Structure 1
């Protein structure tokens, strides 16, 4: 499979997974969280599919497209560990989270996801959903949308 086709599959899995997750948590009162803003595509999609939810964003730097800048009060800039601890200390409760932190090195990315899993668990609501490009630990892995190949993306319930 070409890198272009792989990227298209990944982006489709993100969008379909977020929409699937949104529907599963429709009855939960909690915020949404985008972990890894990047250029803002996923955050922008979350805004579109969940306009009534507060969407927190964590990233080391604000380098997204100008149309995708989150409100200042919802953007937590810094290291993920510190920002997740801050959210937990502030009592933030998340119904739907999207995990997309990464360095571009698979082994390093998997290790970071495993390390951050406990901190993510601390802010998730029971019955919440995580949509992730990396495997997470300590959550119930579930089958995501039928349109997404099981090995393409990771889906969890809390």
Structure 2
């Protein structure tokens, strides 16, 4: 598979899972978190998908176009392992949905990220939060949710916390 085909499949899976998560979030209150704003495509989709919720973006640095960036209150810049667990006062309440796109094709690197990211997510997530993630995170208490049609197993992951 070409890198372009792989990218398209990953983005399609991401969109399908975010749309499925939106259906599951009916009646579950809380803000939305996007980890790794990148070019801002997913953040923009989350804002459109959740017009009545606050959407916060976290990244180590900003590379998105100015017109796509959140305002200063909703854009958290800095080392995510530090900024995410300390962000609950800014969020105002625990997050209902967290989208993680920090990983890469490197399974060892993803495992290292997951080691600090899972506890950081738990520090700000509702006990029943939905997690959409590009790689498996080591949560002790979470259930894997069924993938929508069109998402190949292992391409992207959908969890709900049960802590």
Alignment TM-score, normalising by the size of structure 1: 0.92
Aligned to 2:62, the other structure's residue is in SS state: coil
Residue aligning to 1:37 = 37
What is the CA distance between 1:127 and its match in structure 2? Answer: 2.2
SS at match of 1:86: coil
Unaligned runs of 5+ in 2: none
Which has more helix, going by share of residues?
1
Shift of 1:105: 3.8
Aligned length: 158
State how far apart, in whole Å, the 1-side matches of 2:122 and 2:131 are.
Answer: 10
- Map of 1:115 onto structure 2: 116
Name the structure 1 match of 2:23: 23
RMSD across aligned positions (CA): 1.6
Aligned counterpart, 1:99: 100
Structure 2 residue aligned with 1:150: 153
Partner of 1:60: 60
**1:85 maps onto 2:85 in alignment:** yes
Distance in 1, matches of 2:59 and 2:88, equals 16
Q: Does the 8 Å CA contact 1:25/1:127 hold for their aligned counterparts?
A: no
